[in-house]
């Protein structure tokens, strides 16, 4: 069973209880469709400070996380016709995901629930021996 760590958006932390992210994780759909079995290892809120995000990612790894996902709202926005790529709550999500993968050696995936139509979750792998 793959242990999953999740990074949520600070901007949405007081509005979203991650209900659909957790449902997608349990159902192995949306951003979690590639897992045979998955279980939540922990959740942290993205910081504006890159070094803090890396420290939090290392804590998730120490708690058993084998992959880390960044919530969809970090890099997508909800429009009238559903979720669309771009204009999410966070800038530089690719850089954040790449840094997390490098620092931890774990795959860092962009996407949880509410994936835009046709979007395939991007997986960042570090050069430190990540799968």
What pLDDT, on a 0 to 100 scale, did the predictor assign at position 131? 40
Write down the mean pLDDT value for the chain.
94
Domains annotated for the chain, with CATH where assigned, are: 2-7+26-113 (3.40.50)
Question: Which token pair is 11?
Answer: 């901007």
Are 39 and 27 a contacting pair, CB within 8 Å? Answer: no
Distance CA 96, CA 113 (A): 19
Distance CA 127, CA 95 (A): 15
- Mean pLDDT over 65-85 rounds to 94
- Mean pLDDT over 62-82 rounds to 95
Q: Is the pLDDT of residue 67 over 90?
A: yes
């Amino acid at each position: 069973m793959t242990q999953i760590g999740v990074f949520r958006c600070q901007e949405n932390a007081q509005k979203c209880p991650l209900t659909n992210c957790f449902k997608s994780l349990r159902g192995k759909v949306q951003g979690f469709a590639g897992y045979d079995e998955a279980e939540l290892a922990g959740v942290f809120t993205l910081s504006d400070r890159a070094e803090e995000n890396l420290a939090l990612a290392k804590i998730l790894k120490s708690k058993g996380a084998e992959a880390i996902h960044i919530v969809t709202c970090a890099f997508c926005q909800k429009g009238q016709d559903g979720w669309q790529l771009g204009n999410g709550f966070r800038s530089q999500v690719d850089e954040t995901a790449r840094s997390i993968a490098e620092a931890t050696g774990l795959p860092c995936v962009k996407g949880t629930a509410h994936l835009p139509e046709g979007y395939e979750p991007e997986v960042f792998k570090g050069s430190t021996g990540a799968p």
